Amino acid sequence: MAPEALSDPQGWPDLYGDYLYRFALLRTREASVAEEMVQETFLAALQARGRFAGQSTERSWLVGIMKHKIVDHFRKVKREIPTDDIDRLWTGEDPDGTFDQDGHWKLDQTAPLDWPDNPGGVLEKKQFWDVLKRCLGEMPPRMAQVFTLREVDDVSTEEICEMLKITPSNLWVTLHRARKHLRGCLEAHHFGLRAA
């Protein structure tokens, strides 16, 4: 099979603009940054056109370039407020009172409930993803960035620390809080097992 040729770059914004924008928005959490990432991706792709080997589709080639651009962006951004916005949502050891004074779940209030069977079927439901997106949107942007890098993109914790210039212990705490929030939010709003 002949390698796939690139299409006319003038058509890229119509063909891939939305796709790349959504990809960048999930990861950067900022519309203006996502737009910038799309533009930088297209311009870099234009320059690297000759190196497109046709091994992948045009879109996945562009996504590959965009991933590098997003990493570059994270590296470049100054870290004036490294953890402030994370602490804004959660302060203290157990701010939402999940545990009793001995450190155990409050059985009739906070203990994780049994989610309905067939979790695979859940993944096909639009409502599940809507709630997940909403819960993710409730996180401070910085926490959501860290969480997305780790949980969606499977970036190693060492790389995240290096990229965002944060300490490993800061990263563990951030991820723990993000996971705890998302689980509780899903339980309350999607599975509807307990009022929020």
Partner 1 sequence: MQIGPTQDVRGLKLRIGLIAGWLIRMTPPCNQVVKLVSEEMDHPLPLGTKIKVRLHFLICKWCERYREQLIFIRSAMRRHPDKLEGQDQPAAPSPSPEAHERLKQALRQQQKQ
Any idea what DSSP says for residue 152?
Answer: I
Q: Round to whole Å and give the CA distance between 37 and 16.
A: 13
Out of 75, 79, 88, 104, the only residue in the binding site for partner 1 (CB under 8 A) is 104
The piece of 50-58, 64-72, 81-89, 130-138 that touches partner 1 (CB under 8 A) is 130-138
The reply on whether position 87 binds partner 1 by CB under 8 A is: no
Contact in structure between 58 and 173 (CB atoms under 8 Å) = no
174 burial via Cβ count (<10 Å: 0-12, 13-18, 19+): buried
Beta bridge partners of 99: 105
Q: 140 or 174, CB closer to partner 1?
A: 174
Contact with partner 1 (CB under 8 A): which of 66, 136, 146, 163?
A: 136
134 binds partner 1 (CB under 8 A): no
Closer residue to partner 1 in complex, CB, 11/81: 11
10 Å Cβ neighbour count for 147?
20
Q: What sign does the dihedral 134-135-141-145 (CA atoms) show?
A: negative
Binding site for partner 1 (CB under 8 A): 9-10, 12-13, 17-19, 21-23, 25-26, 31, 34-35, 38-39, 42-43, 46-47, 93-94, 98-99, 102-105, 107, 111-115, 119, 122-123, 126, 129, 132-133, 136, 150-154, 157, 171-172, 175-176, 179-180, 182-183, 186-187
